[in-house]
């Protein structure tokens, strides 16, 4: 077949022995496919595998005594480079205002949080897909009468639970650190960027603090209630829409905050931390579990371990050795997924409120919880027009078409990826 001949023809060029000046000479990415990208799916996979392996081999050849992935430490001072997707320099009013109002480091860190949130969304989506695949596989195994499908579920579910717990640990620490830095900056304790970098917290403590659980605190942070003069300049319909969206946003933020406080306890935080340091007691096959000193505890631990509980070694405040026995259940996994999503949404609201206050010429904030508009009959265009009018930012109207095009492109790419994996398109 022609595609396979193409893949074989490319291979010698990728594995040639004449070493280029840099491994990037062999291409730092998948390249532009000058010979035509194979159309056969198997050939495509083989082609990209060969390219990846060739790049890795080139890195080894040219590394010498240097680390294969060299990390450079560069001071945050001197000339700064404005980097964006067009790979060219320009002056942008929003960008300039963001730096002036939040400081160069603080503003850049907040823009970086948008990348983190996209990454977290993707990781959560992949983890949910893995869990759905596991359940589907167990159902098929039961239908076909295969041996031990429930055992397979318990062992794999335990690993998915670990991943979800680690993801919740990460996002809760990020949210808590951002919240504390935001509060300190609001009190005038220093530069926002420096506070964001240097603030170290235990996420569960911040999340269970009175300030984090206060609706009044969150109203101040995200610009609720609206600016009276700005609201007075709106039409009656826009004022009502603004009021409805802000009310829903506040309710949804506090629902997420309550959910996170209910899930992310000190003990769960300790379990995630000790797992990170590799202190689980049970392997996937066997291990020892201490049952405790009273009959009720012994019976409870036996039941939990039989149902694939996680068991992690820990010590209490007095240094006494303990075990953390964490039940792994279908409901528990879904609770972790929901808590991760809640933390991501609250962090998103916090980041966007700061960015809007810096980028909009008026300094006014019109922040929406990601679900607020989903329950509102108003169209996306109506909401954008409201935001433009309330914040005094007419250029927002120009971005609607570009943003829609990006969303459509992303949907097309994701659909192609599902087809490549052999998944069916959603109805």
Residue 139 included in any domain: yes
CA–CA dist 347, 179 (Å, integer): 8
Provide DSSP, 141-207. HHHTT-S-HHHHHHHHHHHHHHHHHHHHHHHHHHHHHHHHHHHHHHTT-S-HHHHHHH----HHHHH
- Walk along the chain (427 residues) and give the pLDDT tens digit of each residue: 333 333 333 333 333 344 443 433 344 444 545 555 666 777 777 777 777 787 778 777 777 777 877 788 888 888 887 776 665 555 566 788 888 999 999 999 999 898 898 899 999 999 999 999 888 888 888 888 877 777 778 788 888 998 999 999 999 999 999 999 999 999 999 999 999 999 888 889 999 999 999 999 999 988 888 888 888 889 999 999 999 999 999 999 999 999 999 999 999 999 898 877 777 676 656 777 888 888 888 898 888 888 778 888 888 888 888 888 888 888 899 999 999 999 999 999 999 999 999 988 888 999 889 888 787 788 888 888 888 888 888 877 776 666 666 666 667 767 766 665 554 444 4
- Taking phi over 0 as left and psi of -120 to 50 as alpha, with beta for the rest, 20 belongs to beta
Domain enclosing residue 9, as ranges = 2-61
Q: 134 and 205 in one domain?
A: yes
pTM above threshold 0.85:
no
Q: 204 and 106 in one domain?
A: yes
Residue 72 included in any domain: no
Q: 336 and 220 in one domain?
A: yes
Q: 251 and 178 in one domain?
A: yes
| Helix H or strand E segment including 391 | helix 380-391
Predicted pLDDT of residue 10? 33
Residue 423 included in any domain: no
Q: 42 and 160 in one domain?
A: no
Residue pLDDT, tens place only, 333-342:
999 999 999 9
Q: 45 and 130 in one domain?
A: no
Q: 221 and 151 in one domain?
A: yes
Contact between residue 265 and residue 238 where contact means Cβ atoms under 8 Å apart:
no
Q: 110 and 56 in one domain?
A: no
Which residues lie below 8 Å from residue 21, measured CB to CB, with a gap of 6+?
none
Residue 426 included in any domain: no
Q: 146 and 43 in one domain?
A: no
Q: 196 and 57 in one domain?
A: no
Neighbouring-strand partners of residue 321: 315
Predicted pLDDT of residue 58? 78
Residue 318 included in any domain: no
Domain count, the chain: 2
Which residues lie below 8 Å from residue 363, measured CB to CB, with a gap of 6+?
101, 357
Distances (CA, A) of 404 to 86, 369, 374: 18, 19, 16
Burial 17-56 (b: 16+ CB within 10 A, else e): eeeeeebeebeeeeeeeeeeebeeeebeebbeebbeebbe
Residue 311 included in any domain: no
Residue 381 included in any domain: no
Residue pLDDT, tens place only, 243-293:
999 999 999 999 999 999 999 999 999 989 887 777 767 665 677 788 888
Q: 137 and 57 in one domain?
A: no
Residue 10 included in any domain: yes
Q: 241 and 141 in one domain?
A: yes
| Helix H or strand E segment including 324 | strand 321-326
Contact between residue 358 and residue 102 where contact means Cβ atoms under 8 Å apart:
yes
Tokens of 3: 């595609």
């Amino acid at each position: 077949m022609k595609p396979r001949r193409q893949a074989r023809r490319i291979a010698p060029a990728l594995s040639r022995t004449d070493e280029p000046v840099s491994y990037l000479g062999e291409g730092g990415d998948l390249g532009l496919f000058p010979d035509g990208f194979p159309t056969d799916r198997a050939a495509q996979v083989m082609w990209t595998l060969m390219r990846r392996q060739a790049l890795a081999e080139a890195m080894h050849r040219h590394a010498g005594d240097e680390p294969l992935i060299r990390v450079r430490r560069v001071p945050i001072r001197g000339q700064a480079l404005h980097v964006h997707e067009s790979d060219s320099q320009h002056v942008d009013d929003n960008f300039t205002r963001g730096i002036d109002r939040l400081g160069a480091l603080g503003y850049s860190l907040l823009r970086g949080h948008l990348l983190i949130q996209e990454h977290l969304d993707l990781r959560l989506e992949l983890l949910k897909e893995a869990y759905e695949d596991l359940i589907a596989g167990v159902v098929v195994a039961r239908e076909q009468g295969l041996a031990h499908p429930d055992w397979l579920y318990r062992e794999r579910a335990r690993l998915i639970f670990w991943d979800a717990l680690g993801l919740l640990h990460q996002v809760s620490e990020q949210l808590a650190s951002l919240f504390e830095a935001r509060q300190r900056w609001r009190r005038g304790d220093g530069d926002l960027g420096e506070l964001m970098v240097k603030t170290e917290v235990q996420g569960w403590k911040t999340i269970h603090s009175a300030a984090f659980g206060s609706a009044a605190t969150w109203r101040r942070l995200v610009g609720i209630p609206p600016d009276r003069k700005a609201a007075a300049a709106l039409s009656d319909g826009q004022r009502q829409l603004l009021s409805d969206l802000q009310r829903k946003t506040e309710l949804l933020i506090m629902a997420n905050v309550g959910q996170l406080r209910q899930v992310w306890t000190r003990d769960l935080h300790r379990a995630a931390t000790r797992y990170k340091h590799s202190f689980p007691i049970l392997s996937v096959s066997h291990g020892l579990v201490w049952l405790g000193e009273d009959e009720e505890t012994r019976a409870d631990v036996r039941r939990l371990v039989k149902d694939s509980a996680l068991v992690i070694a820990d010590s209490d405040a007095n240094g006494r050795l303990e075990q953390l026995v964490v039940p792994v259940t279908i409901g528990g996994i879904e609770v972790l997924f929901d808590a991760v999503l809640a933390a991501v949404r609250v962090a998103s609201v916090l980041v966007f409120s700061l960015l809007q206050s810096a980028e909009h010429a008026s300094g006014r904030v019109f922040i929406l919880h990601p679900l607020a508009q989903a329950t509102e009959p108003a169209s996306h265009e109506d909401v954008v027009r409201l935001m433009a009018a309330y914040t005094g930012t007419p250029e927002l109207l120009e971005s609607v078409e570009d943003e829609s095009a990006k969303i459509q492109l992303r949907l097309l790419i994701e659909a192609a990826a599902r087809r490549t994996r052999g998944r069916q398109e959603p109805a």
